[in-house]
Amino acid sequence: MRWSRHWRGWLPLLLLIVLIAALTACTSPQTTFSPKSEAAGRIHTLYILITVMASLVGAAVLGALAYALIKFRARPGRTASQVHGNTKLEIAWTLAPVAVMLIIGAPTIVAIADAAKDPEPDALKVHVVAHQWWWEVEYRGPADAFPPGVELPVITANEIHVPVGRQVSVTLESADVVHSFWLPQLVGKVDAFPGLVRQVPVFTPQEVGVFSGLCAEFCGIAHANMRFRVIVESLGDFKRWAESLQTPPSPSTGLAAQGEQLFMEKGGCLACHTVAGTDAQGKIGPNLTRFGSRTTLGAGILENTDENLRLWISDLREEKPGALLMPTFQDTLTEGEIAALAAYLRGQRVE
């Protein structure tokens, strides 16, 4: 009876341990447990080392405490003996923390130095500007990473294409408030400040895939909806993508042609957005060149489908509340016109 009551006290703790174990088994796009670049691998290795060391220290301290509690517990007729000074013990509890600090500290210092290394000359240079609440992406070089004829900078938004196996050097700033660029499977987290360009640690993506990033610094009401994706692809796919961002799009036909006209005239979209090769050269909102090939819209919050794009154009605040600059078009355009705009943008694909 006494023991069962005793164990009941431990039940919440046990449940918590089980819950934590179960949660770590979840797949999450922002996982830090699955590094796909040497830079993320470095952080992951340190994380595991520190977790193991902390567990060993915790086990040793709690074990010693449990031993003392049981061995020296109160017994009738026994009094505590007072001890003053024990050279062996004092040496032990000085050396043990020093050893722990060295085991953790030495690789940490090496990792910090690695993270601060300058980019290699042939690293892909990507300048990212954080906005409330989206990401502007500008490729600045080197020229040989792009097909001949592509004029730098190449500009896009919210989805960053990079070739596999090539070092990437991201520089970061903000257009308004403090944001934070967090891309856990490829590189650590770096804050973006207005008026200050910062170097993100260089990283080399090791495998093809789509990796999720988000803003990790509270930056206003739509902070949680400020995501981005990094698409790591073969060099050929990367070059095809970069080239098509500057090639005039094929002429739109049918509904899409009607949408193009709305984009350039009645809708007024061209005042804020750029579509390369057209009259639309606005710089306020995200660049929409080859928008149809993006996987998401609204800075990574919705899958890029016809239906979602129509919803977005008609009333984006429904999906992303906040003082967004883009107007809602449900009152100024008809449903048919919005469908035409969506058809135009979704038709702008990488060929």
Q: Determine, following the binding rule CB under 6 A, whether residue 321 of this chain makes contact with ligand CUA.
A: no
CB of 32 to ligand CUA, least distance (A): 18
Q: Is 325 in the site for ligand CUA (CB under 6 A)?
A: no
> Which of residues 229 and 346 has its CB atom nearest to ligand CUA in the complex?
229
Instruction: Please state whether the peptide bond connecting residue 142 to the residue before it is cis, i.e. omega within 30 degrees of 0.
Output: yes
Are 297 and 309 a contacting pair, CB within 8 Å?
Answer: yes
The single residue among 155, 186, 226, 242 that binds ligand CUA, judged by CB under 6 A, is 226
Question: Which residues are within 8 A (CB) of 266 and not within 5 positions of it... i.e. 6 or more apart?
Answer: 333, 337
Supply the minimum distance, in Å, between the C-beta of residue 179 and ligand CUA: 3
217 binds ligand CUA per the rule CB under 6 A: yes
Please count the residues of this chain forming the interface with ligand CUA, following the rule CB under 6 A: 9
Told to check if 340 binds ligand CUA by CB under 6 A, we report no
Please say which residue, 133 or 344, places its beta carbon nearer to ligand CUA: 133
CB of 219 or CB of 302, closer to ligand CUA: 219
- Closer to ligand CUA by CB, 63 or 194: give it: 194
| DSSP label of 37 | B
DSSP 293: G
User: Which of 86-94, 214-222, 285-293, 294-302 is the region at the interface with ligand CUA (rule: CB under 6 A)?
Assistant: 214-222
At what angle are helices 38-71 and 87-115 packed, to 10 degrees? 160
Pick the binder of ligand CUA from 14, 45, 218, 321 (CB under 6 A): 218
Q: How long a stretch of residues is the chain?
A: 351
Cα separations in angstroms, 91 against 83, 85, 97, 100, 106: 16, 11, 11, 14, 22
219 is a site residue for ligand CUA (CB under 6 A): yes
d(CA 220, CA 93): 48
Which segment (2-10, 30-38, 39-47, 217-225) binds ligand CUA by CB under 6 A? Answer: 217-225
Kindly give the interhelix angle for 254-264 and 335-346, rounded to the nearest 10 degrees. 100
Say whether 179 sits in a helix, a strand or coil. strand
Q: Where are the alpha helices (DSSP H) in 80-225?
A: 87-115
Within 10 Å of residue 183's Cβ, how many Cβ atoms? 25
Q: Does the footprint of ligand CUA cover residue 230 (CB under 6 A)?
A: no
179 near ligand CUA, judged by CB under 6 A: yes
**Residue number with CB closer to ligand CUA (161 or 179):** 179
Does position 215 bind ligand CUA by CB under 6 A? yes
Pairing of strands 124-131, 168-174: parallel
Residues that bind ligand CUA (CB under 6 A): 130, 133, 179, 215, 217-219, 223, 226
